[in-house]
Chain A
Amino acid sequence: MSYAHMHARGYSQCLKNIPNAEFAGLYDDNAARGREMARLFGVKFYNTEKKFFAEKLDGVIICSENSKHLAMAEAAARAKVHILCEKPISVNMKSANKMLAVASKTGVKLMIAFPCRFIPSVMKARRVLDSGEIGRVLAIKATNHGSLPGGWFTQKKFSGGGAIMDHTVHVTDLLRWFMRSEVRTVYAELDNSIHNLKIDDCGTLFFEFENGVFATLDPSWSRPKSFPVWGDVTIDIIGEKGNIYVDAFSEVIDVYDDNVGRHCCRGWGSNADLGLVKNFVDMIMYNRTPFISGYDGIKAMEVALGAYESAAKKKVINLPL
């Protein structure tokens, strides 16, 4: 449902490549975009949700603007179709809670798209942590830099927030997953000083987990147009007996193309999206509990919302909100 989010294309490609999944069709509230995508992927386009859900669908991937997640999820839940929803789960606590409630009431499985959990270096880092090799975790320093996405991402009514909303949730989810601990406090400095828009584009979050570990996260859209890569996901974990450094998108080749006019990098790493979509398909086929639940989606978004509150009040905010 919807190709408003650029990840929709990647997930669609994954669906085509998973043997036990059938890409049945797509719906988009932007008909021109929907038709183009349907042509691109060789599937049927449905111009209304009603016609879309009249098909016997097993699952749906929602890649709309963040503000439309709830309505589309409700439609899917009514049709008893399992949901993989793009992150962040929603734009505020109220609508996110509503999404969880409707899923649980209808018995529909709700999974949140945090593909970073499927990056091999990330998965290995979690195993190393669990092995006790670096001892107790003391502190964490993380980044999820990006470049300016443009479009609805920079319009608060569709996105719910800028860089902080867009990029806080991935790493927050990973750290919760690593430590099995929730964020207890959040402090943030943020601003809109890079791109001259009315929405936050840079900042740094400082949070503490219930297990006492403190962490920082830079979710800024600070990569200029001339930067060789789109951004990064890095996590430095400082342990009592050693450290772990994850640089999840460092697997690149260098490209110097005169037609592009600047140094570019192309990734050669694993396709985390494929792991995510496969997991979603398997969840439906084998009737599994979602590996990344709606609750996970809420807890990650809550940190971003806490960061906005902290920046507004210039103080440390206690979670849950």
Chain B
Amino acid sequence: MGRKHFESFKRVASVTLCGVYDIDPNKAKESGIMTCQDPCHLIRECDIICVATPTDTHKQYILEAIAARKPVFVEKPLCRTVEEADEIVKTARKYKAKVMVGHVVRYFNQYAAIKKAIDDGCVGKPAIARITRCSKFPKASNNWFNSREKSGGVILDLMIHDIDFLIWCFGDVERVYARDIGRQKIPNKDYALAILRFKSGVIAHLEASWAHAGGFRARVEVAGTGGLVSYDSRHPASLKVEHADGNAVRENPVEENANQMEIREFVEYVLNNKVPRITLHDAYEALKVSLAALESVKLREPVKLSKGEKWIE
């Protein structure tokens, strides 16, 4: 995701890319700009920080950025544990820091359209939702996604996208029940199913997979008292380019893609105080529900979400 965010920042007119740090210096050099051996040095040099390191290292970099009074954009999830999240939130409040988490699904036009259709009353009162996100196993430095300790597996890294989206649509979660294949200890494969019950009464079924070698597929469906809305990434694309060898690329070209949109909103948040559509509070809630799902996997029982403190912006 670091590369993606790098490209997205490049497109924002008011931003100049200052430098890159990576644990692997050669990878950092691919950017073609200044690189640092020491992340603290980079944080001092830049005005805004983007963190796309393994999940279990987010906290330390976020806190360093906040302490240096630098706004920070961090790839989702916010961090690895609730304790880390509490510390980040506390520190962010203390320093009045701007922290935005890259829950990019909110920036996909098709998902925004689903939410708007629900808000417009197309399904009446929402009752039951199904949401799916399937892909092959992600590639990353040192294969860190394969480590539960670092990434939290497919629930914390992938399902959290849809958990956030559903919270955006339906509000607070009451309880969660989930299972994954973690106990099988199969390398480079993960798969999870979950049921969320929202305080509003909505029941949602979630599937997150790193076991779909056949390629990416995302789907969402919401049914209610008056109708149903759905989206499937396999819907016909507006553009398909087919090659002589039979390989084809399907695409829905857009002027600004979701990643670019979220980075632009982050910059607008920093420069103009315009609150982005994903707040730190939202990211905190999505993390809490995702970790409750992991807890349910462990306990093999439904887990009730704690009330938590009242959120003060």
**Residues in chain A within 8 A of chain B (CB atoms):** 138-139, 141, 143, 185, 187, 189-191, 193-196, 201-204, 206, 208, 214-216, 218, 220, 222-224, 226-227, 236, 238, 240, 242-243, 314-316
State whether A218 touches B205 (Cβ < 8 A). yes
Contact A203 B209 (CB under 8 A): no
A143 to B195, CA, bound (A): 14
Q: Is the CB of B226 within 8 A of A224?
A: yes
Q: Are A206 and B179 in contact (CB under 8 A)?
A: yes
Chain B positions 188-209 with a Cβ under 8 Å from a chain A Cβ: 189, 191, 193, 195, 197, 201, 203, 205, 207, 209
Residue of B nearest to A136 (CB): B184
Q: How far apart are the CA atoms of A14 and B125 in the complex, in Å?
A: 41
Number of CB contacts from chain A to chain B under 8 A: 99
Known contacts A138-B191, A139-B179, A187-B302; A202/B186 CB under 8 A: no
Q: Please, which residues of chain B bring their CB within 8 A of the CB of A218?
A: 128, 130, 205
Q: Contacts A206-B195, A224-B226; is A191 near B211 (CB within 8 Å)?
A: no
Contact B197 A189 (CB under 8 A): yes
The interface residues of chain B lying within 8 Å CB-to-CB of A223 are: 223, 228
Which of A193, A226, A314 contacts B127, CB < 8 Å? A193
Using Cβ atoms and an 8 Å threshold, which residues of chain B touch A190? 203
- The interface residues of chain B lying within 8 Å CB-to-CB of A201 are 127
Residues of chain A within 8 A (CB-CB) of B207 are: 141, 216, 236
Besides A204-B195, A316-B300, 4 other CB < 8 A contacts? A139-B181, A193-B128, A193-B201, A223-B228
Bound form: Cα–Cα A316–B296 in Å: 11
CB distance from B205 to the nearest CB of A (A): 5
Q: Is B225 part of the binding interface, using a Cβ–Cβ cutoff of 8 Å?
A: yes
Q: Give 12 pairs: A residue, B residue, CB < 8 Å, sorted on A.
A: A193-B128, A193-B201, A194-B128, A204-B128, A208-B179, A216-B193, A216-B195, A216-B207, A223-B228, A238-B209, A243-B213, A314-B302
Q: Contacts A206-B195, A218-B205 known; A243 to B211 CB distance under 8 Å?
A: yes
Contact B223 A224 (CB under 8 A): yes
Q: Is the CB of A138 within 8 A of B181?
A: yes
Interface presence of B224 (CB below 8 A): yes
Q: Mark B164-190, 1 if CB is under 8 A from A, else 0.
A: 000000000001010101001010010
Rank and list the top 10 A-B pairs by shortest CB-CB distance, nearest first: A222-B223, A193-B127, A202-B128, A214-B179, A194-B127, A204-B205, A189-B203, A138-B181, A224-B227, A216-B193
